[in-house]
Structure 1
Amino acid sequence: MSNATPLSPFVSRHIGPRDHEIREMLSMLGYESLDHLTDTVVPNGIAYRDRLHLSGGVSEEEALAELKQIASKNRVVKNLIGQGYYGTFTPKVILRNVLENPAWYTAYTPYQPEISQGRLEVLFYFQTMVCELTGMEIAGASLLDEGTAAAEAMTLCLRSTKKKGTQFLVAKQCHRQTIELVETRAKPLGIEVVVVDQADAALDWANAFGVLVQYPATDGSVPGLKEFCDAAHASDCMVVAATDLLALTLLKPPSSFGADAVIGNAQRFGVPFGYGGPHAAFLATRDAYKRTLPGRLVGQSVDSHGKPAYRLALQTREQHIRREKATSNICTAQALLAIMSTLYACYHGPQGLQGIARRVHGQTMRLIRSLRAAGWEVLSDQVFDTFVIKTRDEDACKLMERAVAAGFNLRYVDARHVGLSLDETISSEDLVEIAGIFQAQLVESHGDSERSTLPVDGFRDDAYMTQSVFHRYRSETEMMRYLRRLSEMDIALDRAMIPLGSCTMKLNAASEMTPVTWPEFNAIHPFAPADQTVGYREMIASLESMLCEITGYDSISLQPNAGSQGEYAGLLAIKRYHESRGDHQRDICLIPSSAHGTNPASAQMANMQVVVVKCDQYGNIDVADLDAKIAAYPGRVAAIMITYPSTHGVFEEVVTEVCEKVHAAGGQVYIDGANLNALVGVAKPGKFGGDVSHLNLHKTFCIPHGGGGPGVGPVAVRSHLAPFLPKDGVNADRQGPIVSSAPFGSASILPISWMYIRMMGAEGLRRATQVAILNANYIAHRLKKHYPILYTGHRGLVAHECILDTRPMGQHHVSVEDIAKRLIDYGFHAPTMSFPVGGTLMIEPTESESLQELDRFCRAMALIFEEYEKVREGVWPADNNPLHNAPHTLDTLLEGAEFPYSRREAVCPDSEQDYAVKYWPPVGRVDNVYGDRNLVCACPPMETYAAAE
């Protein structure tokens, strides 16, 4: 491939090593050029040597101007659509210091708690906030969206109840997208979804194991659900309530009428519409069901000094680690958005939240009185912020057109009814305009005493959110300082390299992040009229086209809002393809033993039987075992799920042979896109045998990890699978089941990936891949004299990551965890630990890290090996050395702990490093066992402390 086309100016900003450093690194490895290295490491049978058919890269300013022109085609109006999405104000102190702050958005999932205390603390308070408002005893640290949370609650009911029913009842009063997503998840599992009326307690409960109700309902009504829940419980049927957190600041919580689980969305707590996401959902339940919660659960434990410390509890609660025995495939959460919503609650406090809720409710009552005075029929008296109005003899569409002309979107219910939902952004002037749409005059306000038609006993009278965190940071000064203190406790990409294998922590450029806060993108409702979203759809179509060209597939859906959901959507497409051909018996999913845990979990959720294929001693798929497994299930093979390059960080030579064998058996090939950062511009999975892949835009395409989410996991397919992609209301050829509450999932962060591809261009993307491969091989070369490289490919090369074998060190009482924690003292986040092989470290440097940072990391690892040798040789005791005691906190030094090594060796172990700015871990090593045995996942209310006193 010729490199004659000049690279865009942005490429040198994105790629870490300078040109002369690249030449030096290549020379050390024995290669003449990046092309020489690439041609050697990438198998000839899959290599793509043509130029990607993409535009040349442009500068940051040019890309922003181009995208701004596209964004201007969207029309921003005030949305009264509701249906689970509401207008909100993001406090500017949170916008500037969290959403726009790389200390927060570049952080990784808090698997290493010692360097994640800041984000873990806020997620702990998220759980507390949800428990306080819902009246439940335990809550997770966020889920993907409200519909997904409802589906997860359905399966929680299925595995928690003793009743052997096969029906899950869903109230017609639920949001329509929630009903549809629950149906998506239920069908493969053999669960029958029955839509019922939650106003009717006299239902047939005989075969039902659970029921989902909405409170307040999608039409705005606030139902009394005690009788309904009592009837459900009398038939051993569990009750899930979908709810609204702002409403719960005034209304009695779902626990008051007997809900067993509560789900919803924290979006209206300070997170913009964003055309549907990302937004943090929640799932709260009773303590009895804590061990069946999906997703992440933050708990409180103690560190090695007995100090309180936060951590992910109960083996992180991510059930995909159970592989084919999993009941959920959740991997990505919505950590960044959960953090924003929690801080919004801290900033306003319970009194402020109540004030917002009272104002919204009061405006709703005033508007209803005004419309009724003008002769309009409002269908419900008892509402919080939403109501449905009959349109008289006028067609609803005409009324909605008049509303748009006035600058508002109404919700279309049917030809004779429209819905209105008010929120905190509606001003008094807006109320006048809204009334005018209906030729009504706004009646006089009753102020704070605006009459409510809700029954008095429907309002909560208990104290909630009494914990000090919801009262201490009410001034902007204190909030700003609190956010600074929290971020200082963490290691994010703004502080140091995060060398996580399989997780691709690369530059999230400021220019890529800029469009996320444009109102043309973040102020659009996911169900806004099509003529208001022209720019969004143009940007989405452009991104889809670019991703198809990069991967070699024919069609792609951007709806999945996590990699796990992309996997699931891909498997559903395969399943429905087979069914369309009459191959209903195809139910076997072949999965190599090295696969990511989400692979077998997704297969299980799609009701496929997982059959594990062995890997050989080099980490490659064992072709002989593959043949045996195919032969054992004639006519039943539905798919194989492979990761390429392999999870072991190697370009497997047999990949095309594997694909051909599965195709010959009538199966489809799913290629996990987790490691796509080693393929862009050098190989196309859609061309070397793949039928479907999910891509991680939060890995390869620069959407930041945000402390554990958001993520985007598009699913790309060849043409024969395109009809089975999730329907989105725009692409008529896609008729598959939805996998996200919003048509385009987490749409507001798609501009990040658009900007990245547009600025890098074809040549820049290929160069990024080549440098990622170079950086990984450079690290492997530098460290192999200390740590064996567990797997290598052709000529001893690795792909984009390498695995260091630290298991021999265990013979001398130095564990892989000791190394991970000691790296904190050197100022690094640890590599991926004990995956895919226990007792190893998997390192992925990405193309964004400079040679200086790569050398700093290699030096740290070399020094750690020297420390290990001192333990091995008996210079330091096995139970009292820098590795065993790591990480070393400031308290350790101030308390005068006695070590057989110096204080400098403890906290400043690299003599070549400038410690003018030193990272001090806020806690010592966290005790995981103690945390699980003494599970604390939310702040106790203040009265608990008073009782103790």
Structure 2
Amino acid sequence: MAVERQSLQALLQREPFIRRHVGPSQSEQRTLLANQGLHSLSDMIGETVPASIRGAELALPDGLTEKQALDTLKALARKNTINKSYIGMGYYNTEMPNVILRNVLENPGWYTAYTPYQPEISQGRLEGLLNFQQMVMDLTGMEVANASLLDEATAAAEAMALCRRSSRSKSNVFFVADDAHPQTLAVIKTRAEYLGIDVVTGDPAKDLDQQEVFGTQLQYPGTYGDINDISRIIQQAKARDVLVSVASDLLALVLLKSPGAMGADIVMGSSQRFGVAMGFGGPHAAFFATSEKLKRAIPGRIIGVSKDSRGNIALRMAMQTREQHIRREKATSNICTAQALLANLASFYAVYHGPDGLKAIAERVHRLTTILEKSLSDMGFQCNKSYFDTLSIKVGSEQQAIYQRALNHHCNLRLISHDSLGVSLDETTTPDDIIELFDIFMGKGKALDLSFVDQRITAGEATGITDDLRRTDKILSHPVFNSYHSETDMMRYIKRLENKDYSLVHGMIPLGSCTMKLNASAEMLPVTWPEFANIHPFAPRDQVQGYLALIDQLQQALEAITGFDEVSAQPNSGASGEYAGLLAIRKYQQSVGEGHRHICLIPASAHGTNPASAVMAGMKVVIIACDAEGNIDVNDLQEKAEQHSDALAALMITYPSTHGVYEEAVKTVCHTIHRCGGQVYLDGANMNAMVGIARPGDIGADVSHLNLHKTFAIPHGGGGPGVGPIGVKKHLAPFLPNHSVSPVYDNGGIGAVASAPFGSASILTITWMYIKMLGGRGLTHATEVAILNANYVAQRLSAYYPVLYRGQNGKVAHECIIDIRPIKAATGISEEDIAKRLMDYGFHAPTMSFPVAGTLMIEPTESESLAEVDRFIDAMVSIRKEIDQIEQGKWPVDNNPLVNAPHTLADLADDTWQRPYSRETAVFPSPQSRLAKYWPTTNRVNNVFGDRNFVCSCLGMENYKED
């Protein structure tokens, strides 16, 4: 009976999530270890990770099952209160069409794709982003748009920096209109401080002419709802060579005269209300558009139109694709990511509704706003007379009473000053909502006859948009916005684009430094729960207790994982985290009388965002050399740290190193910096090789950012979203980002670095689930298997390709770099040729030419099974044998499967096949490719043609006839 009871008890135990997350089974792990001549994972860690940095077990509980974690999170979600939000300020209730929700947001074919650096297998999301750019250009009236930025306030800060770079003025003053969103002003002020810019606010109609400025930021419509004719302000500014940036609203621009038509230089804002939930602040795609003359200075990514080797239309990332890695400390921005998934969601919203649908939504919102304004004005309330969807209502001493009545009705209004309330309507607002709002303002007074008020408006009473500010030009006339309005057509269009892309649903994405691991379904589910999705970032704190508890628990877990004393979740990308961490260092040093420190040491191997972030923080970059093994040259570091000791502010390092090894001297490096008066910033891009094994805070780092979209399972989304929280030691904790609208801390903190107090809060649920389901032991095991997989790849490939860098005992960390330069010297075949040929085998390429030109950096992650890792290795071995054919003269250097890759269906059907290898070799190079063939939809893209013929807008459908 005891045996039976034990057996039953075993059956009752739920399967742990770790078995679902980690790819190799226990028996496969033994095979992987045997390949290394090892008996256990602990033996492998002992041989790979320096003993000096290894720490104790993670102080986190064991993992929960998927059901247990979801039930626990649902209990937290129920602590949030979903009130109807009328707060506005750039955040609105919206309705994502279900065809987009199910087929894009909830579809791993879209959310697990990587940034489209390999355009031949990214044509789907590239087309979606090109549609986004076209949508933005149409609505803003501008000539060029990028493929999104992080959020509206960051976009405004980037606009200020662009104005500074592009202006001929010698002034260092930037003027911000006093009706800008307050969170936008806060981020602008944060950014301005270390760029040497003075920010002045005021009424631009009265005060702008009184200032000598290089640029100005206007809001149209204003944060309180007013729609001012900004054309005169723009004309006066341009007459003085002042560059003008305008923050606007896409739905308002459906009806309003465009800023471009008024002469604006830059137009930016948020696309959130185009179907993307508020999510307590994000993620949301900012838009950014400029005049033609500023196109070379635009931050972020631009999708451009080029051609492939067959002369067919092909899309690619055009300008600014890897600016930070090329220009480093001379880069104009540290932005290296975007909000691609969110931008695609917004573009699909516009495609599905089309110009007529968007106009109907905008007209309905404005009509309801007009009814409310007329009704309240009739009752003696003073409202703004120009508006699109937002009213500022003067209520005097009744402010708190009306505000409380709204709360009793489960509605959130905006508090303005001491005597006014704000009401912003949106596409979810109904006539019943207007009646309820009237009741809230009137108390138990007169009932609203909505139809009577509507009849008055129909009879010709003025609305909130004057005729001279009404839009008269056509918008969204391109066929893509006028073709897919039935759900059937939209579903098929989305699927057609998805089929052009490669994502984790197809196979392994072995990108070094980018950690393309499993994004589990259970982790993704809560993102769309209403209790998380439908919360305004500035909702009263008593309504978001579940969110605050989740964020607090997540921050505590990250503190345990990193060894830091406090964590901020506000930065909404890795680059934003870098910037916030460096600001914390600078603010701390100012607080102790060492504000003169400004030198930042950065190894030559560092991520390109590191030097760009340092410059943005007002630092001077000094490069540290690397030795022949790829490690920091400790002698060079010590020499330069001593040389600059009086002015040394910080060292920025990545650990394990960008070269994929655990550097033995890391503690010595940190001690050297501290001895010379500096702080240590550790870039957490490679944290997937540290979780549960070593902690940055124990190694000697003072601050580090974490890429939740790398180590902690938030999906890459085809180029964003990302989250980059920072952890700090106790002395830096008072200098974490705060927020002026919704304070994170009662006292202290630096200015905001994002629009919302907790950044992209809705996707923090993903990392919360990841940590809860894996638990302390599971997180450690995931790291061990990631290192095991990487060393297996390095061991097997080393017989065919040189492995460039190794650490102690010949081991690598979680990634390895193979050197293609000897192959290129011998045959002319480059790392790009190998990358493109891998597509024929059904793989996304490893990271090309970073951190060393002419190399491929491979990271298998812990989520890939032995079979999939072997499939990748076999493909690389097969490609090496193909290179041997070239080297032996059997295939010409300029006509072989590598230089012609990738091969498409058009190649297979070619009637004039004139190549020295067969069609079978071209498209079915391996047995696996016959079983499950992934077809690139375009041949190799011509980057030179795209650079010479810059087009970033949608072409007519006739241009795609050959597709």
Report TM bin, short chain: over 0.9
One of 87, 99, 107 as aligned partner of 1:101: 107
SS at match of 1:300: strand
Cα drift, residue 623 of structure 1: 0.7
Cα drift, residue 940 of structure 1: 5.3
Note the alpha carbon deviations across 1:738-782, whole angstroms, 9 max, x for none. 100000000000000000000001110000000000000000011
Cα drift, residue 7 of structure 1: 10
Report the count of equivalent residues: 934
- Which residue of structure 1 aligns with residue 823 of structure 2? 809
Q: Structure 1 CA distance, aligned partners of 2:480 and 2:939?
A: 23
CA contact (8 A) 1:370 1:441 kept: no
SS at match of 1:871: helix
- Which residue of structure 1 aligns with residue 432 of structure 2? 429
TM-score (norm 2): 0.96
Is it true that 1:330 corresponds to 2:316 in the alignment? no
Cα drift, residue 326 of structure 1: 1.3
| Matched AA of 2:125 | R
Q: Structure 2 CA distance, aligned partners of 1:319 and 1:409?
A: 42
Q: Structure 2 CA distance, aligned partners of 1:330 and 1:627?
A: 31
Alignment of 1:375-774 (within 5 A): 375-378=380-383, 380-394=384-398, 396-439=399-442, 440-445=446-451, 446=454, 449=458, 451=461, 452-728=463-739, 729-732=743-746, 734-774=748-788
Q: Structure 1 CA distance, aligned partners of 2:850 and 2:689?
A: 19
CA contact (8 A) 1:201 1:228 kept: no
Cα drift, residue 903 of structure 1: 1.0
Cα drift, residue 310 of structure 1: 0.3
Is it true that 1:241 corresponds to 2:246 in the alignment? yes
Note the alpha carbon deviations across 1:68-99, whole angstroms, 9 max, x for none. 00110000011000001011100000000000
Is it true that 1:348 corresponds to 2:360 in the alignment? no
Q: Structure 2 CA distance, aligned partners of 1:202 and 1:516?
A: 43
Q: Structure 2 CA distance, aligned partners of 1:407 and 1:515?
A: 23
Q: Structure 2 CA distance, aligned partners of 1:895 and 1:941?
A: 26
Q: Structure 1 CA distance, aligned partners of 2:33 and 2:148?
A: 44
One of 287, 299, 306 as aligned partner of 1:301: 306
Cα drift, residue 318 of structure 1: 4.0
SS at match of 2:277: coil
Query: Any gaps of 5 or more consecutive residues in structure 1?
Result: 1-5
SS at match of 1:671: strand
| Matched AA of 1:809 | I
| Matched AA of 1:430 | D
SS at match of 2:696: coil
Note the alpha carbon deviations across 1:836-875, whole angstroms, 9 max, x for none. 0000000000000000000000000000000000000000
CA contact (8 A) 1:367 1:431 kept: yes
Is it true that 1:784 corresponds to 2:793 in the alignment? no
Q: Structure 2 CA distance, aligned partners of 1:527 and 1:488?
A: 39
Mean Cα deviation higher: 350-359 or 889-898: 889-898
SS at match of 1:195: strand
Note the alpha carbon deviations across 1:214-265, whole angstroms, 9 max, x for none. 0000010000112211111111101100000000000000012211100100
CA contact (8 A) 2:300 2:320 kept: no
SS at match of 1:418: strand
CA contact (8 A) 1:320 1:328 kept: no
Q: Structure 2 CA distance, aligned partners of 1:115 and 1:506?
A: 19
Note the alpha carbon deviations across 1:593-614, whole angstroms, 9 max, x for none. 0000000000000010000000
Q: Structure 2 CA distance, aligned partners of 1:171 and 1:532?
A: 31
Q: Structure 1 CA distance, aligned partners of 2:137 and 2:864?
A: 41
One of 920, 938, 948 as aligned partner of 1:904: 920
Q: Structure 1 CA distance, aligned partners of 2:66 and 2:746?
A: 34
Cα drift, residue 832 of structure 1: 0.1
Identical residues among aligned pairs (%): 56
Q: Structure 2 CA distance, aligned partners of 1:790 and 1:437?
A: 69
CA contact (8 A) 1:603 1:610 kept: yes
- Which residue of structure 1 aligns with residue 944 of structure 2? 929
- Which residue of structure 2 aligns with residue 310 of structure 1? 315
Cα drift, residue 199 of structure 1: 2.9
Mean Cα deviation higher: 140-149 or 723-732: 723-732
Is it true that 1:141 corresponds to 2:157 in the alignment? no
CA contact (8 A) 1:173 1:217 kept: yes
CA contact (8 A) 1:722 1:734 kept: no
Mean Cα deviation higher: 209-218 or 325-334: 325-334
Is it true that 1:885 corresponds to 2:900 in the alignment? yes
Note the alpha carbon deviations across 1:650-686, whole angstroms, 9 max, x for none. 0000000000000000100000000000000000000
Q: Structure 1 CA distance, aligned partners of 2:247 and 2:757?
A: 20
Note the alpha carbon deviations across 1:771-816, whole angstroms, 9 max, x for none. 0000000000110000000000111100000000011111211011
CA contact (8 A) 1:8 1:764 kept: no
- Which residue of structure 2 aligns with residue 3 of structure 1? none
- Which residue of structure 2 aligns with residue 69 of structure 1? 75
Q: Structure 2 CA distance, aligned partners of 1:357 and 1:585?
A: 52
SS at match of 1:553: coil
Q: 1:202 to 1:101 in 2, by over 3 A?
A: closer
- Which residue of structure 1 aligns with residue 119 of structure 2? 113
Cα drift, residue 914 of structure 1: 5.4
SS at match of 2:727: strand
Is it true that 1:829 corresponds to 2:827 in the alignment? no
Q: Structure 2 CA distance, aligned partners of 1:25 and 1:401?
A: 64
| Matched AA of 2:318 | A
Q: Structure 1 CA distance, aligned partners of 2:867 and 2:648?
A: 49
Cα drift, residue 731 of structure 1: 2.8
Q: Structure 2 CA distance, aligned partners of 1:321 and 1:762?
A: 39
CA contact (8 A) 1:262 1:283 kept: yes
SS at match of 2:930: coil
Q: Structure 2 CA distance, aligned partners of 1:340 and 1:27?
A: 46
Q: 1:733 to 1:54 in 2, by over 3 A?
A: farther
- Which residue of structure 1 aligns with residue 4 of structure 2? none
RMSD over aligned Cα atoms: 1.4
Cα drift, residue 730 of structure 1: 3.1
Q: Structure 1 CA distance, aligned partners of 2:744 and 2:233?
A: 38
| Matched AA of 1:37 | M
SS at match of 1:354: helix
Note the alpha carbon deviations across 1:301-354, whole angstroms, 9 max, x for none. 000000000000025164464111012100221000000000000000011001
CA contact (8 A) 1:825 1:888 kept: yes
| Matched AA of 2:834 | I
SS at match of 1:883: coil
| Matched AA of 1:416 | D
| Matched AA of 2:214 | F
Q: Structure 2 CA distance, aligned partners of 1:929 and 1:673?
A: 34
Query: Any gaps of 5 or more consecutive residues in structure 2?
Result: 1-12
Q: Structure 2 CA distance, aligned partners of 1:522 and 1:348?
A: 22
CA contact (8 A) 1:293 1:317 kept: no
SS at match of 2:899: helix
CA contact (8 A) 1:201 1:227 kept: no
Alignment of 1:120-159 (within 5 A): 120-159=126-165
CA contact (8 A) 1:886 1:924 kept: yes
Cα drift, residue 462 of structure 1: 0.7
CA contact (8 A) 2:205 2:233 kept: yes
- Which residue of structure 1 aligns with residue 10 of structure 2? none
CA contact (8 A) 2:167 2:243 kept: yes
| Matched AA of 1:381 | K
One of 42, 46, 51 as aligned partner of 1:35: 42
CA contact (8 A) 1:559 1:746 kept: yes
CA contact (8 A) 2:842 2:929 kept: no
CA contact (8 A) 2:323 2:331 kept: no
Mean Cα deviation higher: 172-181 or 443-452: 443-452
- Which residue of structure 1 aligns with residue 3 of structure 2? none
Q: Structure 2 CA distance, aligned partners of 1:27 and 1:202?
A: 72
Q: Structure 1 CA distance, aligned partners of 2:450 and 2:125?
A: 46
Q: Structure 2 CA distance, aligned partners of 1:732 and 1:629?
A: 40
